[in-house]
């Protein structure tokens, strides 16, 4: 188990107490293509800039002591994009997993994947599995990479898993409750997101963690993902700390 890098003091960095920070931050990283279009360059350049930006956000969250960070990286719907763009995205994942492995270990980050493995290139799976295996005993932040992910597919997979337990007489239908479902999801044993951030100004959740974000605070910014930096994240965290979370109560 590798020791974590030097932590940041939330009071000094943000003017917030540690208990005011969300335990779990989920981010829909949107706007790479529009960022590129505004600059008159190919969309692929936008994805490259977005991939570079992941490093700053992951490192900052880890050093602030955020428990879980989930990044919506590639949805099952994204397979409908042009083949050339998909191929380049997959190369970027391989590059990121190799390049950031040492930094992930230095920050004590544990990486997991959310989503189906079917359809992902062998090279992506190989490098992803290496990072997951290397970091599995780290005790710092958990980094969830939502790759080939769809919340509806996740719920379908959970229902299938639960139905197999019922079929095997391990579980009775009247025993199924919210906890049963939560424990069958890809995010089992992780806290639900407290804060959902979406960049690039779109006002939708795009089939992302639909069960888990039931009570998440939503924060939408017009900033494109390649420009969503440490200061942008700090602004979102301060906005979260000002929210009154009543969970249906008074």
Which domain, by its residues, includes 97? 18-74+82-144
How many domains does the chain divide into? 2
Same domain, 92 and 168: no
Residue 3 pLDDT > 60: no
Residue 94 pLDDT > 60: yes
Same domain, 58 and 127: yes
- What pLDDT is recorded for position 152? 98
- Does residue 134 contact residue 110 with C-beta atoms inside 8 Å? no
Residue 249 pLDDT > 90: no
Same domain, 88 and 163: no
Residue 186 within any structural domain of the chain: yes
CATH number, position 28: 3.40.1180.10
- What pLDDT is recorded for position 247? 62
Instruction: Report, as an integer, the average pLDDT of 27-53.
Output: 96
Helix, strand, coil fractions of the chain, as percent rounded to 5 = 50, 15, 40
Residue 197 within any structural domain of the chain: no
For all residues of the chain together, what is the average pLDDT? 95
Same domain, 160 and 135: no
Task: Establish whether 194 is a catalytic residue.
Answer: no
Instruction: Report, as an integer, the average pLDDT of 142-159.
Output: 98
Same domain, 68 and 163: no
Task: Establish whether 53 is a catalytic residue.
Answer: no
Same domain, 159 and 129: no
Catalytic residue among 67, 78, 192, 234: 78
Backbone dihedral region for residue 119 (phi beyond 0: left; psi -120 to 50: alpha; all else: beta) = left
First-to-final CA distance of the chain: 44
Same domain, 107 and 164: no
Same domain, 140 and 36: yes
Residue percentage of the chain with pLDDT more than 90: 94
Same domain, 140 and 33: yes
Residue 154 pLDDT > 80: yes
- What pLDDT is recorded for position 85? 95
């Amino acid at each position: 188990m590798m020791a974590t890098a030097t932590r940041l003091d939330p009071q000094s960095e943000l003017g917030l107490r540690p208990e005011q920070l969300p335990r779990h931050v989920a981010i829909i990283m949107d706007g790479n293509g529009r960022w590129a279009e505004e600059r008159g360059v190919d969309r692929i350049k936008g994805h490259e800039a977005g991939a570079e930006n992941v490093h700053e956000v992951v490192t900052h969250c880890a050093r602030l002591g955020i428990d879980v960070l989930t990044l919506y990286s590639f949805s099952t719907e994204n397979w409908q994009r042009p083949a050339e763009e998909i191929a380049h995205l997959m190369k970027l994942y391989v590059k990121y997993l190799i390049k950031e492995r040492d930094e992930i270990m230095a920050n004590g980050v544990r990486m997991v994947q959310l989503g189906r493995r079917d359809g992902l290139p062998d090279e992506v799976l190989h490098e992803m599995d290496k990072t997951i295996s290397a970091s599995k005993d780290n005790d710092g932040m958990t980094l969830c990479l939502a790759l080939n992910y769809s919340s509806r597919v996740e719920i379908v997979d959970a229902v299938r898993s639960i139905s197999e337990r019922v079929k095997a007489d391990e579980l009775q239908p009247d025993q199924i409750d919210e906890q049963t479902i939560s424990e069958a999801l890809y995010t089992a044993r992780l806290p639900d997101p407290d804060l959902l951030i979406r960049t690039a100004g779109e006002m939708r959740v795009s089939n992302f963690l639909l069960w888990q974000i039931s009570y998440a605070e939503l924060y939408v910014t017009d900033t494109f993902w390649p420009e969503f930096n440490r200061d942008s994240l700090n602004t979102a965290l301060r906005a979260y700390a000002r929210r009154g979370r009543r969970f249906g109560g008074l």
